[in-house]
Every structure is written in structure tokens, then in C-alpha cells.
Amino acid sequence: MSIKEQAKFNSSLSEKLAVYLNNSSKETKKLPKNSSFVTFSAKNAKLNEQNEKLVSSLTKKGKVIYKAIQTNNSDHPWTFEKVTPNH
């Protein structure tokens, strides 16, 4: 997958995530303000492979990241997983 394709897919997922976060649920209120997210698709395994590399790169730089994982459950369309730097 090219970087351009990855950016396009991530942009689309990020937009869906932003709508979800704006509609706030109790779950999202637990996330720290100014959190950094990397989105993971419920359907696109190639994108998820690339984004896993992105998470690894960011945590090596000392950043705390939340994986925003899209689900197929309309009641709970996203799950969140905190990833901390490996020091």
C-alpha cells in the first residue's frame, strides 16, 4: 500500500472517529484530552499492517498513542487501546 493510499484511508477513518468522539459517550470521556490516535479498520488488513508500523514508529519516539479500532458493532463502533513507549 502506498503512503498516499494509507493517508486516504486514514483520513476517511479519522473523519468517522471524529464524528463518534464529538457525539461523546462515557467511554470517550475517559480518554485524556489531546490524545493522539491511530485508526485501525474493521475491514482493511493492509491498512492495519501499515498503521501498526506507524504506531511502533511513534512510540519509539516517546509518544503515547491510542489505537482507535473500528468494530462491526453499531452500538460500540470503536474500541481504544493505549500504547505506551517501550523504554
pLDDT for position 83: 95
For the whole model, what pTM was predicted? 0.87
The tens digit of pLDDT for each residue in 17-54 reads 999 988 876 777 788 888 899 999 999 999 999 999 99
Residue 63 makes CB contacts below 8 A (sequence gap 6+) with 36, 85
pLDDT for position 86: 73
Domain that holds residue 63: 3-83
